[in-house]
Amino acid sequence: MTLSNRQPGVVLTDRVFTVPLDHERPDGETIEVYGREVVATGKAGENLPWLVYLEGGPGCQARRLIGAQAWLERALEDFRVLLLDQRGTGRSTPANRQTLPLRGGPREQADYLAHFRADAIVRDCELIRRELTGGAPWTVLGQSFGGFCAVNYLSTAPEGLAAVLITGGLPSLGATADEVYRAGYPRVERKVAAHYARYPQDVARARAIAGHLAEQGPLTLNGGYRLSVEAFQSLGILLGIGDGSHKLHYLLENAFVRTPNGPALPDTFQEEAQAALSYAARPLYAVLHEAIYAQPGLATRWAAERVRGEFPQFDAEKTLAGEAPLLFTGESIHPWMFDADPALAPLRETAELLAARTDWPGQLYAPEILARNEVPVAAVVYHDDMYVDTAHSLETARAIRGLRTWVTDEYEHDGVRADGPRVLDRLLGLVRGEL
C-alpha cells in the first residue's frame, strides 16, 4: 500500500522498490531501495517531470527536509521530486554493524558491500525511473558523491537523462585514491590557516587540547568514542562546510573545566565532539569511502593514511614538540577510526578486506562516451572546495561535452544546502540555455 502524508505546502508519498543486489544477476538476491516522492500541494494531480536527488556520501540517506525547505522550494516549481535513500542507507535495506552479520563473516560482508558503489546506485535508478516515469527520462540532481553517481549515469545510461545538475561533485575521471588524497592535504592546510586567521585564539586552544590528550592518553568520551590526538585533528572535517569554521571555534572555546583532578574536557565538549566524529548514523561513509575512488586491479590500501606520511606538517607529535599551529585533517578515513568509533569497530576486518580488494568491476566513468555527451549538464564548482579537488573537477568539466560550469567562491561544499533555491535556479538556467 502506498502511503501519503502532508506537510506545509507539500504532499509526501513513500515509494519502495525491489532491485537486484547484483545487477549482473537480475534473477538473484534482491534488496529494497526507498524513495520519498515530494510534490507541491497545488500540483499533486499534475503530470510533472521527475527530478531524482542523489545525496552526498557515500552512505548517506537523503536529507529529511520539512515542507519545501532549502533547494526543494525551487525544484517543486517545476518537478515532482524523488528523494532517494541510496542502497544501504536510511529506509533502504540497511547495511551497518547490526545487520551485516546476517551476511556471514567479514569476507561475506565485504563481498556484499562491493555492490554498493556508484555503478550499482545508477542501475537502481534506471530500474526505478522506468517504473515511475513509464520510460521518460528524468533530471538528476547530484550533491557531492551524488555528482559522482551522476557522472557514472552519463557514462552508462545517458538515454535515461533529461538533464543533469551537479553541486560540488565533479570527480576525477581517472585519479587513483592516492592522487585524490595527495591533492587533498594541501587544501586542508589552507582551510586550517584560514580558520586560524579568523580565530587566532584557537591556535593556543587546539595545541592545549592536543597536548592534554597526548599527555593523558586517549579519552573515552561519554558515548564510547575513543578521542585520541589524531581523532581530535579529524574535527577539521568541519572546515569544508559554510559554517564549519564557526562550529569548530565554538567547540574549542568550551574545551576545559577545572576539576579536583586538574583540567578536564567537559561533558559539553565531549558530546559535541562525539556528534561530529561518530559514524554511527552513516557507517557506510567510513567503510566505503576510499572504494569510491578504487580502480580495477588496484587496491586503495588505506590511501589517506599512507599519503598523510608525505605531509609531515600534519604530525601532531612533531608539532607539539615545536611551536607551529596544530593542523587539523579533513575528509579522510583512517584505520584507527575503526578502533575509536564503537559503531565502526565490528566492521574493522570488513573494511580491511575492502581496502585490499582489487577485483572491482570496470571503470566507473567512460571518457569516450562523455566526450560525445548530448545530455544538458551544469555543475557548480566551489573554488578551493575542501572535499572535491577543484582542478580535478574542472578537468572533468572539460572532458564532458557541453557541460556548463559555474565556478564560485561564495560557498563552501554545502552551497546547495546553504542557498539552495539560488544555486538550483542558476543550474537550471544553465542547462536550459537561459544564462
Catalytic residue among 85, 119, 144, 393: 144
**What is the rounded CA–CA span in Å between residue 349 and residue 326?**
31
Catalytic residue among 245, 413, 414, 425: 413
The bridge status of strand 161-167 relative to strand 404-408 is unpaired
Cell of 102: 546476517
How far, in whole angstroms, is CA 206 from its chain's centroid?
Answer: 26
The bridge status of strand 377-382 relative to strand 262-264 is unpaired
Cβ 357 vs Cβ 142: under 8 Å: no
Cβ 161 vs Cβ 136: under 8 Å: no
For the purposes of burial, counting CB atoms within 10 Å of the CB of 321, is it exposed (0-12), middle (13-18) or buried (19 or more)?
exposed
Of 65, 56, 57, give the one whose Cα is nearest residue 38.
Answer: 65
**What is the rounded CA–CA span in Å between residue 246 and residue 260?**
31
Active-site annotation holds for 359 = yes
How far, in whole angstroms, is CA 54 from its chain's centroid?
Answer: 10
Cβ 45 vs Cβ 57: under 8 Å: no
Instruction: Tell me which residues are annotated as active site.
Output: 144, 359, 413
